[in-house]
Structure 1
Amino acid sequence: MEQRTVLFVDDEKNILNALKRVLLDEPYETIFAESAKEALEMLRAEQVHVILSDMRMPGMSGLELLKIVKKEHPYIIRLLFSAYTDIHTLMAAINQGQILRFITKPWGHDEELRTIIRQAIEYYDLHSEYEMLMHFVEQWVEG
């Protein structure tokens, strides 16, 4: 199986540095962007399987970014994290960005964050396998 890639997006360098430290020994590639614009550029150049974006960033919010990701790269699993947990914002994030998980910042235990990301990768793998099987079934039925 090819190595999975997770893109982390946050305008705060200290958060990105903390993520790098926490995820150092994980079995997937980690890439980092300091803005939504930079993340979109990286998505054009890299094959990304999971994206974890901060909610509040200058220029373009994480929610706006994940809406674009959903439209342009629907197979990418989307996660959102924020220090702000306004219920209306959270509902919009879930409904509009179709995120898999919302993570509060700061996150609790490092292992909990690692587990959430591993689960997102597993979800990606299961969904990919499902799509492949559905394609085979459709070909078999037609054929």
Structure 2
Amino acid sequence: MLVNVSYKNLEITKKIDAQVGKPFTLKERWSMDGIGSPKLLITETRGEIRNLLLLDNNVDSCNIELRPKGIIVRFRSLLETFALVIPYYKLVVYKGDLAHYAIYRDHYFIKVRSDTKAIQKFFKKMLALKTDNTPTNLEDL
């Protein structure tokens, strides 16, 4: 689900919380050593996200927030902030060559550069959370 989160909208917040869960508490954030990624440089996208990023001439970047049941990928276009909400059971991550990760949800796709140890450490943490929280039975969905 790709949504504009520039303005406070309770309906959108409820939809996001329903898909990926409410944000972690402060105590959980401390114990996890943070829930946000470093700044990620976007190298390739497709479809709707690409059209949004082409609207301005800024450097295309995003960040990822971990949630109990999924992740939120946030990026900016013009003066708006957009969020790609991805539950863990729909999240697919591929590690390409040495310096890229590809993040998929259905027909959405974002490829980011992973040229630092901090980014690689974050992706390991994200994939560990995915394996711990992905339902194993269809009834669990």
Q: TM-score normalised to the size of structure 2? A: 0.27
Which has a greater percent of strand? 2
Tell which structure's C-alpha radius of gyration is larger: 1
Q: TM-score normalised to the size of structure 1? A: 0.26
Which has a greater percent of helix? 1
Q: Which has the higher contact order (CA 8 A, sep 6+)?
A: 2
